[in-house]
Amino acid sequence: MKKLNIAIIGAGSYTFSRKIVGDLCITEGLNGCHVTFMDIDAERLNLIYDLAVRMSRELKAGMTFSKTTSREEALSGADFVLNTALIGGYEYIDAQKRLGNQCGYFMGAWLHYFRQMAFFRELADDMARLCPNAWLILSANPVFEGCTLLCRTSEIKTIGLCHGHHAIQKVGEEMGLDPKKTDGRAVGFNHWIWLSDFRYEGRDAMPLLHQYLEEHPFDETKMFLGPAAVEQFRMYGMLPIGDTIRFAAWWLHIDMESRKKWFGADGGRDAQFWYNPEQAEKWSREIREIAEGKQKVTDTFRPQFSGEQIVPIINSLTNHQKGIYQVNIPNEGQIIKGIAEDVAVECQAVIDGAGIHPISEPPFPKNLMIKAMLPRWSYAELMVEAVRQHDPQLLLFYLLEDHRTRDYAQAELYMTEWLNMEGNGYMKDYFGM
């Protein structure tokens, strides 16, 4: 039997790679597989390689590993390709957001996603040459636009994964329910999902949720049932789940006072830049000490499942172990009615050795479609088609459609500044500018 070959692109992400290796080590049906780590940062690559070798040895998992800075070498013969790459790294993203903020765009209008999308196309094209039958598991953002782009431009089998649906258990916890007994479904677009079913101890808990939201409209101590979530529930008729709370209503972020009103005294996660070089260096130093130290790796990273879906999905596809997962896949067969088949939707699916079998959902209420789903879909199309067609005019229209654009000159200036910023030579060539 052929040895399973898994390639991790962007493997220098310590947290991600360590979790995947840990899950592989304790999944009996995948013991003995080979993992190729690929990253352009040789130092981080060496650290995660050493960490993985020691972890597999300590757990007697029989896994083998290789490391490379060559994407072509990593992809050759792969059965699964896990993409967690963040092109340019956090420093680049931070610089781009600062530039965007100077031009009047919140979080830089997420223009770094265009570089990510261009990379997704490159990776899929490489896979078509080097491992055409492999599965691509996309964990790098933007998952919604990325999966939509790839379903239009590549024959590679692609699954997009995210963590947002785990917030369903957090909703139960904030209601005072046991999160282990809380379950449900959240569907829509990635980072734009809505609670379609909510259960506690197997029974319909929607009435309990509605009662809670009526009685606790402005509890700033809550994250998933706080003022922003309750307000959107009232506006749209469905509860936003996970990051949807932050993204589905742009006016919550007009200024710092607005953020404080809706997300608490600190303004919430988007009130400041995320990249902290001191914290990043501290984390790197701690990982280095573990990787190079004499104590067991498993003394720090206990052999228990991480909660990531990636390894269980690989096991389901490889060893015919049926499971239900939250995935992002093309809306083929109208999984959610009212959305085009070449658009990626987030939904639940049964996965086994025969592939992916999505669980159909009823159409969204018309109110939600008009107010939230259609505008989000339309905005995503500008990014997807700009990258698909190498069209700078669609890039400009993407900025013009941003609610913070005051006039044409503002959007044109930011696009020009962004294309000419350090690290964006590739994108300038990509769009023929």
Residues 6+ apart with CB under 8 A from 366: none
Distance CA 382, CA 402 (A): 11
Interstrand relation of 5-9 and 80-83 (parallel, antiparallel or unpaired): parallel
Contact (Cβ atoms closer than 8 angstroms) between residue 55 and residue 22: yes
Query: What is the three-class DSSP state of 190?
Result: coil
Distance CA 167, CA 225 (A): 10
Give the residue carrying structure tokens 């269980």.
Answer: 312
DSSP bridge pairs for 107? none
What DSSP element (H or E) covers 239? Answer: none
Catalytic position from the list 183, 243, 270, 391? 243
Give the residue carrying structure tokens 């996309």.
Answer: 138
CB atoms within 10 A of CB 221: 9
Q: Which parts of 84-136 fold into alpha helices (H)?
A: 89-102, 112-130
Active site residue 163: yes
Contact (Cβ atoms closer than 8 angstroms) between residue 81 and residue 127: yes
Contact (Cβ atoms closer than 8 angstroms) between residue 270 and residue 107: yes
Distance CA 299, CA 83 (A): 28
Active site residue 243: yes
223: left (phi over 0), alpha (psi -120 to 50) or beta: alpha
Burial tier of 26 (Cβ tally within 10 Å: 0-12, 13-18, 19+): middle
Catalytic position from the list 163, 210, 320, 357? 163
B/e letters for 304-314, b = 16+ CB within 10 Å, e = fewer, are: eebebbbbbbb
Q: Which parts of 320-368 fold into alpha helices (H)?
A: 366-368
Contact (Cβ atoms closer than 8 angstroms) between residue 108 and residue 424: no
Angle between helices 374-389 and 112-130 (to 10 degrees): 60
Work out whether the CA dihedral 153, 154, 155, 160 comes out positive or negative.
negative
Amino acid letter for position 221? T
Active site residues: 163, 243
